[in-house]
Amino acid sequence: MTITARREQRMREILDRRLGSVVVVLETVYRRHNVSAILRSAEGFGLHEVHLVTNGFQPSRGATRGAERWLDVQVQSDTETTVRGLQARGFQVWAADLHPDAVSATSVPVEGPIAILVGAELTGVSDAARAVVDGFVTIPMQGMTESLNVSVATACILSHITTRRRAKVGVGDLEVARRDQVLADWIAREDVAMKGRMVRSELQLDIASEKAVDSR
CATH number, residue 129: 3.40.1280.10
Is 197 part of a structural domain of the chain?
no
Q: Is the pLDDT of residue 164 over 90?
A: yes
Identify the domain containing residue 48 by its residue range. 19-169
Is residue 98, in this structure, part of any structural domain at all? yes
End-to-end CA distance of the chain, in Å? 36
CB-based burial of residue 127 (10 Å sphere; 0-12 exposed, 13-18 middle, 19+ buried)?
exposed
* Domain contains 28: yes
User: How high is the pLDDT of residue 1?
Assistant: 55
Q: Is residue 212 part of a domain?
A: no
User: Tens of pLDDT along 29-82?
Assistant: 878 788 888 999 999 999 999 999 976 555 555 544 556 789 999 999 899 999
Tally the domains of the chain: 1
Establish if 204 belongs to a structural domain: no
**Residue 216 maps to a domain:** no
- 189 in a domain, yes or no? no
Give the pLDDT of residue 202: 43
Question: Per the domain annotation, does 74 fall within a domain?
Answer: yes
pLDDT band at 207 (very low <50, low <70, confident <90, very high): very low
What's the whole-number mean pLDDT along residues 101-111? Answer: 95
Mean pLDDT, residues 81-109:
95
